[in-house]
Amino acid sequence: MSINKFGKEIVIKKLQEIMKSINNTMHQVKKRTIRNFTITLATSLIMSSTTFAGEHNVNDWNSYKNAIMEDMLKQDESIVINYKSDKTYKSFQEVKDLVQTMYNEVADDMLGTLEENNVRGIHFKTIGTVKNNVDYKLTSGEYNITYKNSFQDMQQSQTIIDNFLSNNIDSSMSDYEKVKIIYNFVIDKLSYGYANTGDTAQDKLNERNILLGLQGNPVVCEGYSMLFSKMMTSAGYNNKIIRGKVDSDGHSWNLVEIDNQWYHVDATWGDSISEKRQEDYFLTSDDFIEAKDNPQINRTWIKANYPQALEIYNKEIKNEDHIEAANAVKFAEQKKIRIIRYGSELSKLLNRR
C-alpha cells in the first residue's frame, strides 16, 4: 500500500494508539482553556450543579477574576467575592471601578464563548471601608447576572443536543459532513422572528433562548449562533461567536475550526429555501462574509478579537483527505491484527522453549 506523508503520519499515530491500548496505558484528559485560565472540568459536572449563587474569599486580583469566571461557567446568578487584602485606594470610586474592571477583563478573556454571550445584563455592588477619609479598602464585590438562557433551559437544551448527536453523528463521517448536519439541524429547527408577550424585557430574553427556539418559538440571530456554538462544542469543535454589525444593525454569527483553519458560519442568513444561500453562508471566508463591495450586506466586526478565516472550505479536497485518512486507519488496523498475531506466535515459541 502506497501512502503519502499525511497518510503515514496517521498510520504512525494510529499504531501508537494501538500499542498504548495493548499495554493498558491509554489515558484521556479533556481540558478547556480560555487564554491564561485553564479549567479541567467535565461539562456534566458544570451542568449538574444546583447552586445558583457563588461566594469566594480571595486575597489577590488574579484569584478574584478566576472566581468570577468559575461562577459564570456554572451560571451562578449571584457572585459574591470577599476581598481579604490590606491594599488601600485613594477614593471609593477607584474601588468601584476596580470591581467593574475585574468583570470586564473576565468578559474579554471569555470573548466569543457561549458563556460570555449568554450574559444579558449585570449589576455591580461594591462594599468597602474607609479610614480617615483617605484609605479606601474593598470588602466585597457582588455581581448579579441575568442570563439569556437559564441554567435549567441549558440543561434541557443539552439533552436535546446530545440525543441528536448520538443518533446522527458517527466517527466515520468527515468534518464537513458532521458540521453540515449540525448546520442543517439549526436551520431546520429554528425560525427567525420576534417574541410578542407584551413584556419587552422578557421578549428580549425569549428571542435569545435556545430551548424556546428548539420548541418552535421565534428567535433572533443570537439564538441561532448560540445553538450552533453549543452543538459545535458538544461535537468537539473549537468555535467562536462573533458580535458584529451589518450596516448599522447588530448581528451575531459563528466561527468554527476545522483542521487548524477557521471558517465563518451564519445559520441565520443561511436559513433560506435557497440551497445556494445555505451553501454561501456555510464554512466561508472573511472576504466573502465581509462583502465590502455590497453596502446592503457589508458587515464589520473587530477582527483583532477573532481568528482569521482566510479561505472558503474546499469540500472536494477535504473529502479526498478524509478518504485517504480512512484508508490509512484501515491499514493501521490491519497492522494491529498482525502485531497481535505476531505476539501470539512469539508467546507460543517462548513457551515451547
Could you tell me if 136 and 95 are in contact, meaning their C-beta atoms sit under 8 angstroms apart?
yes
Query: What is the residue type of 236?
Result: G
Band (pLDDT 50/70/90 cuts) for residue 166 is very high
The string of pLDDT tens digits covering residues 197-243 is 999 999 999 999 999 999 999 999 999 999 999 999 999 999 999 99
Same domain, 169 and 304: yes
The string of pLDDT tens digits covering residues 312-344 is 999 877 555 545 554 555 555 665 566 666 566
Instruction: State the CATH number of the domain containing residue 125.
Output: 3.30.110
Residues in Cβ contact with 44 at an 8 Å cutoff, skipping those fewer than 6 apart: none
Same domain, 43 and 77: yes
Residues in Cβ contact with 254 at an 8 Å cutoff, skipping those fewer than 6 apart: 225, 228, 229, 232, 239, 240, 241, 242, 264, 265, 266, 267
> Could you give the number of structural domains in the chain?
3
Residues in the chain: 353
Could you tell me if 307 and 313 are in contact, meaning their C-beta atoms sit under 8 angstroms apart?
no
Q: What is the pLDDT of residue 277?
A: 96
Residue range of the domain that includes 61: 35-147
Same domain, 340 and 230: no
- Sign (positive/negative) of CA torsion 92, 98, 103, 107? positive
Which of 119, 147, 175 terminates a domain? The answer is 147
The strands making up 78-83's β-sheet, listed across from edge to edge, are 53-58, 78-83, 135-147, 119-131
Which of 107, 125, 147 terminates a domain? The answer is 147
Q: What is the pLDDT of residue 278?
A: 97
Same domain, 49 and 89: yes
Same domain, 80 and 139: yes
Same domain, 175 and 304: yes
Which of 126, 147, 168 terminates a domain? The answer is 147
Same domain, 118 and 254: no
Same domain, 136 and 185: no
Same domain, 86 and 56: yes
Same domain, 45 and 18: no
Same domain, 139 and 157: no
Same domain, 276 and 303: yes
Q: For strand 249-258 and strand 261-265, is the pairing parallel, antiparallel, or unpaired?
A: antiparallel
Provide φ and ψ at 21, rounded to 5°. Answer: -65, -40
Residues in Cβ contact with 73 at an 8 Å cutoff, skipping those fewer than 6 apart: 39, 41, 46, 115
Band (pLDDT 50/70/90 cuts) for residue 353 is low
The string of pLDDT tens digits covering residues 94-134 is 999 999 999 999 999 999 999 999 999 999 999 999 988 88
Q: What mean pLDDT is predicted for residues 180-188?
A: 98
Least confident of 6-20, 22-36, 146-160, 161-175: 22-36
